[in-house]
Structure formats: structure tokens, C-alpha cells
Amino acid sequence: MITPRPTVRSSRAAPLPVRVLATALTTGALLLTAACSDGGGGSAAESETASTPATQTTTSPTTTTPSVSPTRDLTEAGARNALITEADIEDYWDQVDNPQKWRDSLLIGDVDAAAFLNGKSEAADCQRLIDSLYDETLLGRPSGASALTGFEEGDSRLLYQVAAYQKDDLDDAMKWLKSLPETCDQFTLTGGDSGKRTVQVVEASLPEEGDARQGLTVTVKGTNSGDPVTLTLDVAAVRIGTDAITVTNGGLDGANHDTTEAAVGQGTPRLEEVLAGRTPQSTPTGVE
């Protein structure tokens, strides 16, 4: 009698079906690819995918923010906001309430036309200058919003104006100012209580502000109560589009040109801020 041999089971796992093995291999390859691209550099497959039109990100033109704010028309409130303050010109200037009432007696009189080669035509240009000093019409009558302020320091006065004008009128006024050092370099003023006065007009430098600018220094020599006196005034105009700032600064103690430059240098950006639709920041005390 033959005894049957016992069945011995193998300890090795049965081989996986081909489909299950292929799935496992594919999953492992994907995990390896993800791990390799985790350090910041994309895999070749990712790079090729990102370059296809379907996955590119585009920015709509309507979402682009303009780099320059549009220019606004000057309003009465804007003109007031664009005015300088005592802090802008430093020293010991005090703001006054009614600068429109200023008028120096040395400026009251008529230009002597006899000394001009072209007589009345040249004299009229010089008379216009004399009449507009310490006035609101240095560049002509404003056509729109206008604001004015004034400051005093001893015998010196500073008149500051911001205003809107017609373009052609403003262009003509700037050309007129530019011509004065030649047309009205020296002339005589008569009439009034100060007798004959000698007036000299020379060009003065200004900071490179605005679209156009013109500076003058006007010196008037005469008498006051029989004593010789000299009135010296800085005159400045800066154009920004169809708007402008004007400055008249000086007195019997002379004209501090640094103050004129400070008024222009601090005031022009204030007007530009207003025209861009923003409110200028207050100038801190101690600015130079």
C-alpha cells in the first residue's frame, strides 16, 4: 500500500495579473514625476503643456490701469487748494487778508513814450507791466477759476495767484513777458507823487517747472518824501496747460530771489496735483 505524499504550498505570492501590474507601474511613474518637479523647475511635459494656447493666461486690455491721471478743468475749490502757504516759502512771511488792495506809490504813473523808438507801441507794453504789478491781471483776465493769496515780511510783499485762461490769451501773455527784458529794458515813469522814476527790467531764472515759465526782476528808482528809494520786484509766471501761477515778490528792502524760487518750486506741483484730480498734501513746517 502506497501512502499519498502531503501537498506542499509555495511561500511565494502568486503573480499579479498583467492589468494590475501595468496600473501600479503607471501610478509610480506619475508620483516620481510630481516629486521631481516639486523643486521649482517644471518637467518637460509640464513645459510643453504650458506653451499650448489652451492653457496660456491672457490679460484683458480693459483691466489695464492708466499710468497718468487725466487732466481736470480747474475749479474754484481746486484753485484754492493749489495756493501756497507760509510753510512753502519759509522765513518770516505772514499771510494777509486783502492782498488785492496792495499798490506801491512808486508804481503809480505813466510811461514816457518819447524815449522809445516805436513810441506808443513799445510804451504800451511797459505800461501794461507797471499796471499789472501787485494786480490780478499779470497774464490778463482769467477766463475761469481763480484764487489769490498774499504774504508780508517787513516791507516786502508776495502776491500769489492760480488761475485758468483761454489758451491763445495765455500763450500771448507768456510771449509778452518774454519780450519785456528787450522791449522795456529801461524806461522812465512820470506822474504821481514820486516824480520821474527810472525802471529797469531784466530776465530772472526760475526752476524748471511746468510747461513754460518766465521770470523777471523789475527795479524802480525814485523818491519818497524827498528821499531816494528803490523798489525791487521779482515777477514769475509758470504755465501748466491752460492754467498758470503768477508770483510778484519784493519791496523797498529788495526781492529775495530764493523766496520766488521756493514759491514756484512748491506751488507748481500743487497745481499739477489738483489738475490730476488729487488734493495736495499740506506742506510741513521746516521745508526748505
As a whole-number percent, the residues of the chain with pLDDT over 90 amount to 59
pLDDT-derived band of residue 121, with 50, 70 and 90 as boundaries? Answer: confident
pLDDT of residue 21: 38
pLDDT-derived band of residue 22, with 50, 70 and 90 as boundaries? Answer: very low
Shortest CA distance to 84 belongs to which of 177, 209, 169, 219? Answer: 209
- pLDDT at 11 > cutoff 90: no
pLDDT of residue 251: 95
pLDDT-derived band of residue 104, with 50, 70 and 90 as boundaries? Answer: confident
- Answer whether 224's CB lies under 8 Å from 208's CB: no
Per-residue b or e along 221-260, where b marks 16 or more CB atoms closer than 10 Å to that residue's CB: bbebeeeebbbbbbbbbbbbbbbbbbbbbbbeebbbbebb
pLDDT-derived band of residue 242, with 50, 70 and 90 as boundaries? Answer: very high
Chain-wide mean pLDDT for the chain?
Answer: 79
Q: For 56-79, what is the mean pLDDT?
A: 56
- pLDDT at 38 > cutoff 80: no
Q: How far apart are CA 14 and CA 20, in angstroms?
A: 13
pLDDT-derived band of residue 118, with 50, 70 and 90 as boundaries? Answer: low
What are the cell numbers at 7?
Answer: 501537498
Tell me the H-state helices in 100-214: 120-132, 167-183
pLDDT of residue 40: 43
Stretch (H or E) spanning 239: strand 227-240
pTM: 0.73
- Answer whether 190's CB lies under 8 Å from 109's CB: yes
Torsion sign across C-alpha atoms 265, 266, 272, 276: positive
pLDDT of residue 91: 80
pLDDT tens sequence across 87-102: 999 889 999 988 888 8
